[in-house]
Amino acid sequence: MKAYRASVLYFVNPAQAVFESDGLLVVGPSARGLQVVQAVGSYAALAPRFADVPTAHFPGRIIAPGFVDMHLHYPQIDVIGSPAEGLLPWLENYTFPHEKRFSSPEYSAQAAAFFIAELLRNGVTTALTFATSHPASVHALFAEAQRHSLRLITGKVLMDQHSPDGVRDETVQSLIDTEALIQRWHGVDRLGYAITPRFVPNCSAAQLHGAGELAARYPDVWIQSHVAENKDEVVWVRQLYPKARSYLSVYEQFGLLRPRAVYAHCIHLDDEDRALLRATCAAAAVSPTSNLFLGSGFFDYVGADRAGFQYGLASDVGGGTSFSPFHTMLAAYCVGREGQTKAGVSLGPQHLWWQHTAGAARSLGLEGVVGNLLPGCEADFVVLNPQATPLLARKTAQAGSLDELLFALIVLGDDRVIEQTVISQAGNVAGVTV
């Protein structure tokens, strides 16, 4: 066992944080061999029980759950920050040409190494990410994540139509490849597979049907896709499926809405769609920096909470403009405030933080596993320095409440705040397969 003494932040209820200003986090091996939280609370209360446990002391620092990024694209590390007229030209001019390179295992391996280093540098300890349509891209990322003992979920992109040579796949083979990748990687160490239809326009009906069959056969495998990001895209789907009630209902008709199904964006929905997300237990990956960058629209938080479906935050790199959870939380605040196209709301700092940690984990079906520091959670955490920049130091020194402290970090923070990222390694039993 090992203990960490610092301020400690964790969540007890949705959007309700606990902050122990002089706290103790005790971690030790679980029955499965991973390091998990054994106890968390105030130092004064816990220290006598754990007096023999070696304790690292981080004065002035905050230990918080590692961040959970619900949606991004690892092959788009070189697409970030590319100028375009909107989503569809951006895909054609930047994204697809870059993704073609991932047919090479060597190219994929170096990109995977860079990507995971960037996640960790930004305090992201769990990610649900797209790969490309090439199985090599998936093997490379899983292998790299396994080396870091990271809890990572990815999958081969399904895209058999309306896309150029070099990224387009073949219907039957794409489904064979998907099933082989599920069998090779899903549930190995901390890795999970996600069936990954890119979005309705890129997938034939036969491919979506096959994806739905696999989703039924492997119910604990994830599903990830995009829905209702952009109005041009919504019109395109209406042309492809004129009889469908909505864009989202196309996924339903192919069996692709269920628990562990995660849809990025979910902007241009109506209340019937929102009720469908709730009824099927599918979740939304809110991607605010991407939506602002590409001018796609504003996620309706009031509508989401009225319907009661699950959601959490995502960077959506490379449509998104930052790997930093602080930048994403700030953008989510701005998106919430927008009140011209929907009801505006001022999201509280604890709620924003929860959306990128425990709330995102819950949306992924990983509540009590990651995204929090309650006993039993896997010990993925970050050590934050609230004095990382002169302005942050000045501002956080004046914080009179937890909300003021967290909001200062959200608005002014970036990768410099992340002093350490600690991943739950296999403890006394190395290399255990779960």
- Please report how close the Cβ of residue 367 comes to Zn ion at its closest, in angstroms: 24
Nearer to Zn ion, 8 or 72 (CB): 72
Q: Which stretch binds Zn ion (CB under 5 A): 38-46, 99-107, 311-319, 336-344?
A: 311-319
How would DSSP label each residue in 126-185? Answer: EEEEE--SSHHHHHHHHHHHHHTT-EEEEEPEE--SSS-TTT---HHHHHHHHHHHHHHH
- Please report how close the Cβ of residue 166 comes to Zn ion at its closest, in angstroms: 19
Would you give the binding string for Zn ion spanning residues 148-187, x where CB under 5 A is met?
----------------------------------------
Chain centre to alpha carbon of residue 114? 17
- Please report how close the Cβ of residue 284 comes to Zn ion at its closest, in angstroms: 12
Nearer to Zn ion, 112 or 264 (CB): 264
Nearer to Zn ion, 130 or 326 (CB): 130
Q: Which stretch binds Zn ion (CB under 5 A): 250-258, 299-307, 309-317, 408-416?
A: 309-317
Q: Is 313 helix (H, G, I), strand (E, B) or coil?
A: strand
Nearest to 73 by CA among 186, 184, 174, 157: 157
- Please report how close the Cβ of residue 406 comes to Zn ion at its closest, in angstroms: 27
Nearest to 35 by CA among 66, 6, 10: 66
Nearer to Zn ion, 264 or 406 (CB): 264
Would you give the binding string for Zn ion spanning residues 239-268, x where CB under 5 A is met?
-------------------------x----
Nearer to Zn ion, 294 or 358 (CB): 294
Nearer to Zn ion, 264 or 373 (CB): 264
Distance between CA atoms of residues 82 and 78, nearest Å: 9
Decide if 21 contacts 45 (C-beta within 8 A).
no
Chain centre to alpha carbon of residue 211? 21
Nearer to Zn ion, 252 or 316 (CB): 316
Q: Tokens 């039924």 — which residue?
A: 216
Number of residues located near Zn ion, criterion CB under 5 A:
2
How would DSSP label each residue in 339-393? Answer: -SSS------HHHHHHHTTHHHHHHTT-TTTSS--STTSB--EEEE-TTSSHHHH
Q: Tokens 């054994």 — which residue?
A: 38
Nearer to Zn ion, 311 or 381 (CB): 311
- Please report how close the Cβ of residue 291 comes to Zn ion at its closest, in angstroms: 11
Nearest to 207 by CA among 169, 244, 241, 236: 169
DSSP state of 90: H
Q: What 3 state SS string does 240-253 have? A: HCCCCCCHHHHHHH
Cα-Cα end-to-end distance for the chain:
21
Beta-carbon count within 10 A of 400 CB: 7
Decide if 322 contacts 328 (C-beta within 8 A).
yes
Distance between CA atoms of residues 224 and 393, nearest Å: 39
Would you give the binding string for Zn ion spanning residues 390-409, x where CB under 5 A is met?
--------------------
Near Zn ion in 89-148, by CB under 5 A: none
Nearer to Zn ion, 145 or 264 (CB): 264
- Please report how close the Cβ of residue 225 comes to Zn ion at its closest, in angstroms: 9
- Please report how close the Cβ of residue 212 comes to Zn ion at its closest, in angstroms: 20
What is the crossing angle of helices 171-185 and 135-147, to 10°? 10
Nearer to Zn ion, 262 or 383 (CB): 262
- Please report how close the Cβ of residue 70 comes to Zn ion at its closest, in angstroms: 10
Q: Which stretch binds Zn ion (CB under 5 A): 2-10, 61-69, 310-318, 361-369?
A: 310-318
- Please report how close the Cβ of residue 76 comes to Zn ion at its closest, in angstroms: 8
- Please report how close the Cβ of residue 114 comes to Zn ion at its closest, in angstroms: 19
Q: Which stretch binds Zn ion (CB under 5 A): 59-67, 245-253, 298-306, 314-322?
A: 314-322
Would you give the binding string for Zn ion spanning residues 262-301, x where CB under 5 A is met?
--x-------------------------------------
Q: C-alpha angle with apex 215: 214 to 221, nearest 5 degrees? A: 110
Contact set with Zn ion (CB under 5 A): 264, 316
